[in-house]
A = this chain, B = another copy of it.
């Protein structure tokens, strides 16, 4: 017998989940809160912001944008980018947030692949776009984004400049209803090989992600990341997974928001102080850059909460941040997951915990956010016990996962299996439901039927006082399947070889932190560990170098 169902969806009660509903609530809660632009110092009330979104919708429509079209944006982090976050999907078009840090040929590739119809482009990127414009096969027009009151002349034909067009546009726009499964946004993720792959999210997915984030960031007494008194400043580019979706949450809640433009430490610190920022999110390197900037030493960081994602928050960085008064937490997710899957979670008694435990809690990937179903599976696809020890691949179900890669569903074959999205991360979940990421599945070392985390070995090696940096990889072995091998850089003047490292690790064998057979077979000392173009350690190249 089937479940009893509501009548079909064309009935009056049907109310699709659309991004316009997030904007709807913003003005109710905002009061005197403003949206501030670090790019040009402009400040907008939420009433002005709402009007500007409507003006932008009129500008886009008059420029010929129709439902189903794609509108690309190349900009720094600005209030006008936030306007695009709303106006473009709200008219039924797709927002393509172009990764402006890609090499020019990849920018062109993504814009052609997404079939961008209209392009909003900042002065800083106009020369690039002017140069490649004949290669952009689907683009029908350009709008200039300028931080100057009098925009400089553009090096290509445009429909006009953003502020001029907005000023001339009608102030009201009646945003239509449509299917909540309409695609709202798309952007590209780059691996170490192959062309960038597009991910895409629907209105429904973004609304649900927003609601779950709102609950997550508000409901924990010890982690009040977003409250009505919060001041939010993203330090994750808006082209990167919609700045992790937090601008949608902050807008729905009507919070004061600060958009920093380009990420220059001096500007970030100035905005942090003058605007009294309470919550930000960034990758570890940005936090490191801020903390080590000269000006930072004189600043009081207490009251700043920072969610770290993109790559692992190390215990060392977490300590440095906590020492300076910054409340740091880990957020876990990826472009394919919209992105948030889990965050650090402080229990009720967190205030009583030792610093070591605090650091542990804050550096783990944490607990899944509401509506996310998360499991770990072994190499036979079986669910692994939540005992904090058994490792496996992290798989998830959630209402906001990319369905496939844009126009290339075959590339998503490895992404989706048996109804679960496979993250490619290897981790453990403990009895408190806390996820700890231990490795990438392609980096984990499969030796003698066991999985060994390359990161675990790296962490132990890096405790040797003479080791600067290390990377551990698995290489094929006839007897064991794979065996671990290490590459290290050494502090000036120090001498390190295989014996040094093996002896160093031996002490951890004694206390059970590592198995004897996880000690690397070889140690290669180098001047520099190979990195990818975006600065990540490149284990593919390391494998080749060790092998040769």
Write the residues of chain A forming the contact surface with B, with a CB cutoff of 8 angstroms: 1-7, 9, 11-13, 15, 17, 21-22, 24-25, 27-29, 31, 66-70, 92, 94, 178-179, 181-183, 200, 202, 207-208, 211-212, 214-215, 218-222, 226-229, 252-253, 345, 347-348, 367-373, 397-399, 401-404, 416, 419, 421, 432-433
Interface residue from B6, B21, B221, B370 paired with A183 (Cβ < 8 Å): B6
19 contacts between A and B (CB under 8 A): A1-B67, A1-B68, A3-B68, A5-B182, A13-B403, A15-B401, A25-B369, A27-B433, A28-B367, A28-B432, A29-B220, A29-B345, A207-B371, A211-B211, A214-B218, A214-B370, A215-B215, A215-B252, A220-B227
Residues in B with CB closer than 8 Å to A221 are 227-229
Q: In the complex, are the beta carbons of B371 and A31 less than 8 A apart? A: no
A-B CB proximity, top 6 nearest: A3-B182, A218-B218, A13-B403, A28-B433, A214-B215, A211-B211
Distance between A320 CB and nearest chain B CB, rounded to angstroms: 27
A28 to B246, CA, bound (A): 22
From A200, A202, A219, A397, name the one whose CB has the most chain B CB atoms within 10 angstroms. A219
A416 to chain B, nearest CB (A): 4
Contact A1 B399 (CB under 8 A): no
Q: Are B397 and A15 in contact (CB under 8 A)?
A: yes
In whole angstroms, what is the CA distance A219 to B178 when docked?
29
Q: A24-B373, A29-B345, A403-B11 are contacts. A183–B3 as well, Cβ < 8 Å?
A: yes
Given contacts A5-B181, A218-B219, 7 further A-B contacts (CB under 8 A): A6-B202, A12-B416, A15-B399, A17-B371, A208-B211, A214-B219, A219-B227
Across-interface contacts of A68 in B (CB, < 8 A): 1-4
Across the interface, do B214 and A4 meet the contact criterion of CB distance under 8 Å? no
A228 B218 Cβ-Cβ under 8 A: no
Q: Which residues of B contact A24 (CB under 8 A)?
A: 373
Query: What's the minimum C-beta distance from A123 to chain B, rounded to whole angstroms?
Result: 30
Distance A1 CA – B94 CA, assembled complex (angstroms) = 13
Contact of A3 with B67 in the complex, beta carbons under 8 Å: yes
Could you tell me the distance in whole angstroms from the C-beta of A430 to the nearest C-beta in chain B? 11
Contact between B21 and A371, CB atoms less than 8 A apart? yes
For A220, list chain B residues within 8 Å (CB).
29, 227-228
Say whether B25 contacts A368, CB under 8 Å. yes
Measured between alpha carbons, how far is A432 from B401 in the docked complex, in Å?
A: 36
B1 close to A69 (CB less than 8 A): yes
A213 to chain B, nearest CB (A): 9
A27 to B252, CA, bound (A): 28
Q: How far is the CA of A419 from the CA of B221 in the complex (A)?
A: 39
- Closest beta carbon of chain B to A140's beta carbon, Å: 14
| CB atoms of B253 and A219 under 8 A apart | yes
Residues of chain B within 8 A of A28, CB atoms compared: 345, 367-368, 432-433
Bound complex: CA of A227 vs CA of B212, how far in Å?
15
What is the minimal beta-carbon distance from A419 to any residue of chain B, in angstroms?
Answer: 5
> Which residues of B are found within 8 Å of A200, using beta-carbon distances?
6
A12 to B416, CA, bound (A): 7
Smallest CB separation, A208 vs chain B (Å): 8
Q: How far is the CB of A185 from chain B (nearest CB, A)?
A: 11
Chain B residue nearest to A27 (CB atoms) is B433
Which residue of chain B has the shortest Cβ distance to A213 in the bound complex?
B215
Q: Chain B residues near A397 (CB, 8 Å)? A: 15
Closest Cβ–Cβ distance, residue A41 to chain B (whole Å): 24
A179/B3 in contact, CB under 8 A: yes
Q: Are the C-beta atoms of A67 and B2 separated by less than 8 Å?
A: yes
Measured in the bound complex, the distance between the Cα atoms of B433 and A28 in whole Å is 5
**A13 close to B219 (CB less than 8 A):** no
Bound Cα distance from A2 to B283, whole angstroms = 38
- Find the B residue at minimum CB distance from A20: B373
User: Which single residue of chain B is at the shortest CB-CB distance from A371?
Assistant: B21
By beta carbon, the residue of chain B nearest A32 is B348
Q: A25-B368, A219-B226, A368-B25 are in contact. Are A401 and B181 (CB under 8 A)?
A: no
Are A403 and B7 interface neighbours, CB within 8 A? yes
Distance of A15 Cα from B208 Cα, bound (Å): 11
